[in-house]
Amino acid sequence: MVSATVGKGTALGAVLLSLLAVPAHAATTTAGPGPATTTATAKPLPAPDMAALDGVLRTALSQGAPGAMARVDDNGTQYTAAEGVADRSTGRGIRATDRFRIGSVTKSFSTVVLLQLAGEGKLDLDASVNSYLPGLLPDDRITVRHVLSHRSGLYDYTNHMFAQTVPGLEAVRNKVFSYEDLVKLSLEKPRTNAPGAAYSYSNTNFVVAGMLIEKLTGHSVRTEYTHRIIEPLGLRDTFYVHPDTAIPGQHAHGYLTPDQAGAALVDSTEQTVSWAQSAGAMISSTRDLDRFFSALVQGKLLPAAQLTQMEQWEPVNSTQGYGLGLRRRDLSCGISVVGHTGTVQGYYTYAFTSQDGRRSVTALANTSNNASVLDTLSRTLEAAFCGTQATKAVTRGAAPTERHEDIAPAITRH
């Protein structure tokens, strides 16, 4: 059964919104503390267009996603929308509170830990990776900064691993890799460019990032994520369970679209995600990701000097940039937002915040290997940040073609 909720809450009391014309949709209200304002003169954003956002989710369903959801936190006012099902076997409706696998959004968490270590004087971003992990990489010129900005030239091993979508998943679903295993797979292939010469997205970079975290701290990445980010921010739905295969608590199942047109979706929920680890194995929720990115840009996780480093953008294309474990996207209304995308088998995630952290949105579709859904889900950013100022071409017409970077970036998906 398809269901949807849209809600708004403020500290002054709950106000029900009647944004949807379909009578079966129930309105709900939520409220919570807003993020601290970083500047008293921040330019107000257009109001979120929740009707348009819900329309984006409906479109994703029409294109093959079993379910889709989004949560907007607008300086303490929360809006939620959800369409479709979390579990095809039971028919349970998806909820904006469901947990899910966040894929490459994990890269932002890994980067925050390393930049905290840089702020503590334990890491030099411009030092060779091999100075911390002797002999790991074939070129001493590859620096920590190159790794975190995808300019190392290290081949992305997922290109080979997931050249075929479903067979690739089944080959690794229950497998446990070491970091060294994954780096070895990368080094079996030629590098894509000289260190620092070009942006070339590669999961190998953030496998190396995980190795750096564990070498410099003497602790697992799970421990460092927990002590440095999850506990300080009170993220109650965020976990790193590797190599366990289950998502704890109420969660959305993930459904992988086979390469063969018309083939049945594959439930990909339970897996080790050992093929990704510090590059993409975390679990979270829309609430927690909104809180994480808002806190990040407001300086609650990093000293100003390190946050500045994180936001030094390398061009990806005419509307996107990549910093250190962080994406920037320029929207149709002239607003730029920062955050990250995430793909892991069965899940597409967009998690972004305004540059002052006052408004954040996280959107999720519980399918992957579906280019149409990926393109459509990007339009949640336009609805959340541009509101009715978004161009018709973006909100109602053709969405821009998304880069398939998070898994197997060199493989064309249709």
* CA dist 35 → 11, 109, 177, 296, 391 (Å): 13, 19, 39, 11, 29
The Cα–Cα gap between 142 and 412 comes to 28
State both tokens at 118: 């840089």
The Cα–Cα gap between 376 and 387 comes to 16
Residue with tokens 């407001």: 298
Q: Has 62 been annotated as catalytic?
A: no
Q: Do residues 376 and 382 make contact, with C-beta atoms less than 8 angstroms apart?
A: no
Residues present in the chain in total? 414
The Cα–Cα gap between 101 and 295 comes to 21
Total Cβ atoms within 10 A of residue 270: 13
Q: Which residues contact 346 (CB under 8 A, 6 or more apart)?
A: 101, 253, 254, 255, 256, 266, 267, 268, 269, 366, 367, 368
Catalytic residue among 104, 200, 285, 294: 104
Catalytic residues: 104
